[in-house]
Structure 1
Amino acid sequence: MTTNSTQSAKKILLNAFDMNSVGHINHGLWTHPRDESHRFNELSYWTDLAQTLETGLFDGLFIADITGVYDVYQNNIDLTLKESIQLPSHDPSTMVSAMAAVTQHLGFGITVNLSYESPYQFARRFASLDHLTHGRIGWNIVTGYLDSAERLIGHKGLKDHDLRYEQAEEFLELCYKFWEGSWENDAIQKDKTNRIFSDPKKVHQIQHQGKFYQSQGVFQVAPSIQRTPVLYQAGASPRGLAFATQHAEAMFIGADHPAKIKLQVEKIRKLAQEQGRDPHAIKLFVGISVVTAETDQLAQEKLAEYSRYASPEAGLAHFSSSIGLDLAQFGDDEAIPYKQTNSIASVNNKFKDQKITRNDLKAQHLLGGRYPLFIGSGASVAEQLIDFLDETGIDGFNLTRTVTPESHQDFIRLVIPELQQRGRYKTAYDSGSLRHKLFQQGNLLPAQHPVQQFRC
């Protein structure tokens, strides 16, 4: 383990990474006899999960989402349906109030594709959720990458990648105006004697005439604890990075090797600084999978057991839609060519840099997903995670589920105490909003953030 005194003091941040569906990242494991992900449409499934995560002092439950279906592989959705590759999937925001009601501290990062939302209705929904959760809401900003989504919504086709980010800039600007610019902090009076609930002089109309959106009027929701939800983003293209380093408070990054992740971390910190922000004002997370047991040998045996139920091919089908290329058309040992698409640039670009075959991808998808896999006893996994974090300079991890609910239970029982013993994970929650827990700087976005120009 590293002996660097600065890094050794950094506490690991931890989100559970999930989706309101059966198959999320590690595909095929729904067939495991102990897996309960088929219960995703039951509210108790989610309230139990939230309570479990809070016992492990998780910072948040990050909930992914897509609009559309994965129909690129074999040019149909047969495998997607058979293996439940994020289909069916339900709206991620619908169960958050219930999970918040049975927890006190757990944050909730909700993915919403702004391409198919009205800024006003979206801003109202999230401000309402921030009230109901006492300031525990975050928004993962995505712009969409599936042609199937465009057809579902009734659009003619996917907008150009960079144009989607231009629209995202204006969408976010208008949301800032709603959240930060319509109501002054002390507009709510609740003065029964003088019959003044809200002071009219402290509530202001929004006026917005833009390229993509127009809005005029008063925002219906008074200021919530955070006003603007914690902002998450995962852009890795040049345009996506420019957007994220200007606005995001947390980013999700991915790469095959720690050395590549370290370069990405350094690039993000530098870009944030060039935008006038503190380079450490963005918390950086990497998605991971973990298989742990009482000993290293038992963990390997558990991995072998899980792998018998996983579906690497389902992982390829998911991956095909991520890059916009039907991987079924290539032989197992055939190099997959790079092809520019409107899909996820950061995932697609790896085919520029290296020779990759279907067999390579299947090996990466041992458990049906492509995230870095950590295997071993609680102590062994703790050491691996600490070394990974210290080597790359990231701030934390998004832990995907494998067999649910036991994978989270195993991690909490075996890995968390080892991280705590090494002084690398909190032993109690701090008080306050999700933003304050993450940054220790209050409930609101800081003055250095571009939101400042929209505040009343």
Structure 2
Amino acid sequence: MPREIRLNAFDMNCVGHIQQGLWTHPRDQSSRYTELQYWTDYAKKLERGLFDGIFFADVVGVYDVYGGNADAALRGAVQVPVNDPTLVIPAMAAVTRHLGFGVTANLTYEQPFLFARRMSTLDHLTGGRIGWNIVTGYLDSAARAIGMDGQNAHDDRYDLADEYMSLVYKLWEGSWDDDAVVNDRAGGLYADPARVRMIHHCGPQYKVDAMHLCAPSPQRTPVLYQAGSSTRGRRFAATHAECVFINGQKMEGVKEIVDDIRRQALQLGRAADDVKVFLGATLIVGRTDSEAREKFEEYRRYASSEAALAHAAASLGIDFARYDLDEPIETGKSQAIVSNVEAMTRSAGPQWTRRKLLEQMVLGSRQAPWVGSAQRIAQTLIEWSETAGVDGFNLSRTVVPECFDDVVELLVPELQARGAYKRAYREGTLREKLSGGARLPASHMAARYRGARVNDA
């Protein structure tokens, strides 16, 4: 019997997300991203297809590496304009019962005390269906937007992130006891002061003396996602993450990353299956292979090479506008998404050019789509799950909403027929649906910050 495959929609509160240019397709509705009805209809569709969740990407800067300015990004709607993803989640939660919500938030630019309150609030409002994709940023434009000269070095950002995590764990896990809220109307006692404690944190980056402002939410700590697969990113994931998002590349490369993260998790005293891995994928599904291929050929006519290069330039930290089509590109030491540079080198070879890059961008991104009938795509997902050890897939949109209609109506029934996809949701919080436990397990480092010893940890 195949392993159960999990699916997330992968999207962003903007017009152009991953597949650049497809917003120009006449059937695409992504320009409705400012309408609440767009998002509530989206949520109901995903829940009908038993999706585990929607994974929201986010950036707080603009893509201004290509050509040294943001002109190409603005022309092509390359993740700009972009709205706050957290604000649509309560509305989406209100029209669903089970759908999870993974939201990207950049800890480099988020004050931890206020961020902890916002995530607890979302956990309350969703009934325990919130997850946090932990990112440290990769855009110099974001750093400049908040008054910095530029972003910190890649590995230094992870060092800051380790301290940040210890602080929010203290707030989420240690400030309030489970039974602190008494809600005794007759006695006039709402919360027992003896069961609520101040958090005292004084570290290299942060100082906090305060109690958490929120009563314990269903999950306390949100489900923890992490999307870095560089050497430093893997160590961070093995320490903190419950779900890891890996960008698509060759199967042997994905398997090596999955095995390494789980090996490091075991060394830290965690169980290997404490870490679920989601692979980024773009699907074009048809009733037959020829129907899917015809749809692919139609879509590719709307892809934008310029927008794709603007996106790649920022995420790789390289201005491709400086190079001729076949001129070798010098990668150097990037402070952007290091794992993206490593993945690109693996797929295009150590000496890549703009031509090699553009050859991979058939739909406006570096992620080549999987194209085929529902039967063919189902088999592909099962092979990746069985061979590379991934638990699920983050499916980036192409033309919405039809790309997810195809998954719900064609692919999901095929996966169910093969015993590789659930037929009903499990009850409980997002964490209970993913791993069976309502709280982070005792083996997770957050557990050391629980109870009266929170300030000694």
Task: Say yes or no: TM over 0.5.
Answer: yes
CA distance in 2, matches of 1:429, 1:240: 31
Q: How does 1:337-416 map to 2 (within 5 A)?
A: 337-350=330-343, 353=346, 354=349, 355-416=351-412
Q: Give the corresponding residue for 2:449.
A: 454
**Secondary structure of the corresponding residue to residue 272 of structure 2:** coil
What per-residue deviation string (whole Å, max 9, x for no partner) do you get for residues 215-237 of structure 1?
Answer: 11211100000000000001222
Q: Does 1:301 align with 2:294?
A: yes
Q: TM-score, normalised by structure 1?
A: 0.96
CA distance in 2, matches of 1:275, 1:309: 47
CA distance in 1, matches of 2:155, 2:46: 37
Q: What amino acid maps onto 1:274 in structure 2?
A: Q
Identity percentage of aligned residues: 50
User: Contact between 1:115 and 1:143, CA under 8 Å: does it hold in 2?
Assistant: yes
User: Contact between 1:338 and 1:352, CA under 8 Å: does it hold in 2?
Assistant: no
Q: Which moved more, 1:318-327 or 1:330-339?
A: 330-339
Q: Give the corresponding residue for 1:105.
A: 98
Q: What amino acid maps onto 2:115 in structure 1?
A: F
**Secondary structure of the corresponding residue to residue 274 of structure 2:** coil
Q: Give the corresponding residue for 1:242.
A: 235
Q: What amino acid maps onto 1:153 in structure 2?
A: I
User: Contact between 1:209 and 1:215, CA under 8 Å: does it hold in 2?
Assistant: yes
**Secondary structure of the corresponding residue to residue 349 of structure 1:** helix
Q: What amino acid maps onto 1:397 in structure 2?
A: F
CA distance in 1, matches of 2:344, 2:228: 18
Q: Does 1:310 align with 2:306?
A: no
Q: CA deviation at 1:341?
A: 1.8
**Secondary structure of the corresponding residue to residue 291 of structure 2:** helix
Q: Give the corresponding residue for 2:31.
A: 38
User: Contact between 1:338 and 1:351, CA under 8 Å: does it hold in 2?
Assistant: no
User: Which of 279, 284, 287 is 1:286 aligned to?
Assistant: 279
User: Which of 418, 421, 426 is 2:422 aligned to?
Assistant: 426
Q: CA deviation at 1:333?
A: 2.3
Q: CA deviation at 1:352?
A: 5.2
Count of residues in correspondence between the two structures: 448
User: Contact between 2:73 and 2:79, CA under 8 Å: does it hold in 1?
Assistant: yes
Q: Give the corresponding residue for 2:438.
A: 443
Q: What amino acid maps onto 2:363 in structure 1?
A: L
User: Contact between 2:127 and 2:429, CA under 8 Å: does it hold in 1?
Assistant: yes
Q: Does 1:265 align with 2:261?
A: no
Q: What amino acid maps onto 1:31 in structure 2?
A: T
Q: What amino acid maps onto 2:205 in structure 1?
A: F
Q: What amino acid maps onto 2:244 in structure 1?
A: M
Q: CA deviation at 1:256?
A: 2.2
User: Contact between 1:324 and 1:343, CA under 8 Å: does it hold in 2?
Assistant: yes
CA distance in 2, matches of 1:125, 1:372: 36
Q: Which moved more, 1:11-20 or 1:373-382?
A: 373-382
**Secondary structure of the corresponding residue to residue 56 of structure 2:** strand
CA distance in 1, matches of 2:440, 2:80: 36
Q: Does 1:52 align with 2:45?
A: yes
**Secondary structure of the corresponding residue to residue 394 of structure 2:** strand
Question: Kindly tell me: are residues 226 and 108 of structure 1, through their superposed partners in 2, closer, same or farther at Cα, counting changes over 3 Å?
Answer: same
Aligned-residue RMSD, C-alpha: 1.1
Q: Does 1:138 align with 2:131?
A: yes
CA distance in 2, matches of 1:333, 1:313: 16
User: Contact between 1:15 and 1:60, CA under 8 Å: does it hold in 2?
Assistant: yes
5+ residue gaps, structure 2: 452-457
Q: What amino acid maps onto 1:85 in structure 2?
A: V
Q: CA deviation at 1:350?
A: 4.2
CA distance in 2, matches of 1:359, 1:404: 29
Q: Does 1:211 align with 2:204?
A: yes
Q: Which moved more, 1:263-272 or 1:352-361?
A: 352-361
CA distance in 1, matches of 2:410, 2:430: 26
Q: Which moved more, 1:296-305 or 1:312-321?
A: 312-321
CA distance in 2, matches of 1:77, 1:194: 60
5+ residue gaps, structure 1: 1-7
User: Contact between 1:21 and 1:37, CA under 8 Å: does it hold in 2?
Assistant: yes
Q: CA deviation at 1:312?
A: 2.8
What per-residue deviation string (whole Å, max 9, x for no partner) do you get for residues 297-318 of structure 1?
Answer: 0110100000001113311210
User: Contact between 1:299 and 1:377, CA under 8 Å: does it hold in 2?
Assistant: yes
CA distance in 2, matches of 1:335, 1:271: 36
User: Which of 309, 314, 322 is 1:321 aligned to?
Assistant: 314
**Secondary structure of the corresponding residue to residue 239 of structure 1:** helix
User: Contact between 1:336 and 1:351, CA under 8 Å: does it hold in 2?
Assistant: no
